[in-house]
Structure 1
Amino acid sequence: MEIPFGHVENNKLFRSAFGQVEALQLKEVKEDEVAPAVAYFIAKYDKLKAKLDEIEEKINTQNNKGSFLSSLQNIEDSIPTHDGLGDYQILLDRITPLKSILEDYVQKNREKNTDIKQALLLELDVILANPDQEEAFEQIKDLKSRWLKTGSADLSVRTELEEKFKTGVDGFFEKRNAFTEDKKMLVQARLGEYQSIVAEIKSFIEKKEFQKSLDRVKELQKQWKEVGRIPEKDFQSINESYWKVTQDYFDRQKKRKNSDRKLKAKDEKESLKAKNEILSELKELVQNAFGCEPKAFDALKLKWKNSGHVSKKVHPEVHEGFMQLSREWQERQFIWSLAGKKNKGFAKKDQKSQFKDLLRVIRDLLHRDETELKSFNENMGNMHINKGSFVDMLNDKLKTQQEKVALKKNLLKECQEKIKQL
């Protein structure tokens, strides 16, 4: 049968290529399954198109147009891998001018908001000069309401405007501490800060984050002294909690240091030997991970944890080897689980059939990962940043994506070899 925007090849239904987007395999089909499969994927395309129609309608009819920009972007990003049959190029052609309209709308709104906030700052200067505190208080409340209702200003001046407004308003309320209502607000803010300090220290204890939290706890102790006074009845209770939690923290910190000293005293050669033996066991386990119960892997993880300290700086290859094998284990487990979900009766099939099912799953995942890698490389090529932590983060992400592709290729080759042997 003739399939609009698609074709069947080797009993596989494909969405045809368009523009810069490659053909996408949708499903393996028998001859009598083609028609219902085509109808199903046409329906999926229609659903996506209806979603775009709905967003376009809202853009044309609603005032807050900028809020739909991310939804429009999400649809555009999904099109290269969307499993449907239809004219996706038309959708892209519709999205492009809509995005341009919204981006222009957002920019103009920000310019308008900048003008409004600059005018509000002039009003604030007049209010702060008003000697009548009660009248000024009502004016400040109205001004704050209008400021909050005004959207974001242009990014180039946003921080400056917000800081000027905050400085002015904070200064007004500091002068008005004699009024009961403002005193209550100040007390609640201080009490909240006290509670936040106690909660943060408690979270370090609950998460057992002692190694990197000591400097932060010392900062929190300084903050505690600088928060300010609150009524004695409120302070007594929170102060008791504070001293209890800090004492608990430092007691546990002391135990951790003692424990660390004992671990470091352990013979590192013995630990290194033990970890290398575990790596050999783990490598063998990973090679047979398809269909394997996770208990064996969990046992090796516990064994690794209890095998003693080995310096990451001196022996980085040992720790990296463990992490790489762990990631490969998890990937194989995920692929096995996904094959079970996608293929009815998978668990009861013979090995050769199972590896064929695994092969299809790995191909799909490899295609997805290669597409993401290509897109990532293109995006990085368009950036003009050559230093800083952001670049380091991008490089780490690129490396991770490259490793995912390499692992999928190796697994693909392994399954192909298994099928030949069975």
Structure 2
Amino acid sequence: MRKIFCLWPDFVNLQPIYQRKGTRQFIVEIPYGHVENNVLFRSAFGQVEALKLKELSEEEITDAVSFFEAKFDKLKQKLDEIEDKINTQSNKGSFLSSLQNIEETISSHEGLGDYQSQLDRIAPLKALLGDYIQKNRAKNTDIKQALLLELEVVLTNNDQEEAFEQIKDLKSRWLKTGSPEQSTREELEGKFKAGVDSFYEKRNTFTADKQMLVNARMEEYQSIIAEIKSFIDKKAFQHTFEKVKELQKQWKDIGRIPEADFKAINDTYWKVTQEYFEKQKKHRNAERKQKSKGEKESLKAKTEILEELKVLVVSTFGSDHKAFEALKTKWKNSGHVSRKAHPEVHESFMQLSREWQERGFIWNLTQKKNKGFAKKETKDQYKDLLRVVRDLLQRDETELKSFHENMGNMHINKGSFVDMLNDKLQVQQDKVALKKSLLKECQEKIKQA
């Protein structure tokens, strides 16, 4: 047997290639996998065995690895999205099945990446959701027990029309309430269903009661049509779109009435809703044009505020907090200006705000370090400020130098991590530039005093 070596491009380590009787056999190590005898494998991890991904030639290795790394990244991104929703949304329990699906997928997922770290992320998230769901089910159990008590009272009501409305309300609240604890679920659902069924059985024994139900449903249909018509008559299109969509859902849920009656009222309903949506669309278009016109006025107002802020930042050295807050409020109330169309306006405001905060920090720090600072003459105040700025500048320059040295020792030339480092570097450079500018400003103020 003769041993030779081969260096594969970029991601592959130097590995021995064994040649025997004219047949080349090789093993190439790659991150989270390897190529053996022209077959790409995903590495084993935890209790999961190595997984065969693809048979390939030597020339296909680079493209194949990139392909399977991308598949892993897609799975990781999906987990990132679920984790973000768990952390930010209120209906956390609905994401448990998605989390479990990813966990079950990992053992057979065809990709290249750190799958173990993804499993390590999933475990605490499942525990969190399990606790959340358990607490919700305990709360839902209490709510449904209270609804059963209400149902008992409703069943004693001899006013069938009033009781019917109460039953509808109870059913709505019951359905909106989530699942109770598993041990009581069947009992609670059985009691509620039995109570509601007993009401309808009693009610359906009377012909008059049946007609009353038809009348009640007809009134609901008519009330929905009337409400949509009222929006049209009042030209109330701005905040009624979602309400109309909800009314459409209610229309579907009202229930059956005689076919002839339903056809007539349903034709009226569709004409009214079509008219509403057509006029609502025209209203939105007009609103967009008005918004575009208003944005020009807002841009002018914000530009004027920026000029005021520039003067305030320089003239008060960050000490007039009330004036700054007043300008912030004025900025918020000056109307909408698109960030995409006018990024420089928003960036100028942020830069001036950051400078204000930095100046305010220096002013307050100088007050703490120099007793009686507020009562000193302007020249003496700027002398104190000068010393503090000089110390802070020296500290920032030292940190900037260390940052440059650390980045120079890194061998990463792409990716979000490098972007983050560049952003931090820019922040540090801005801090040094501002301190130098403030140093000159203090020196000029001392000369002028």
TM class by shorter chain equals 0.3 to 0.5
Q: Which has the higher contact order (CA 8 A, sep 6+)?
A: 1
Greater C-alpha radius of gyration: 2
Q: TM-score, normalised by structure 2?
A: 0.40
Which structure's residues are more often helix, by fraction?
1
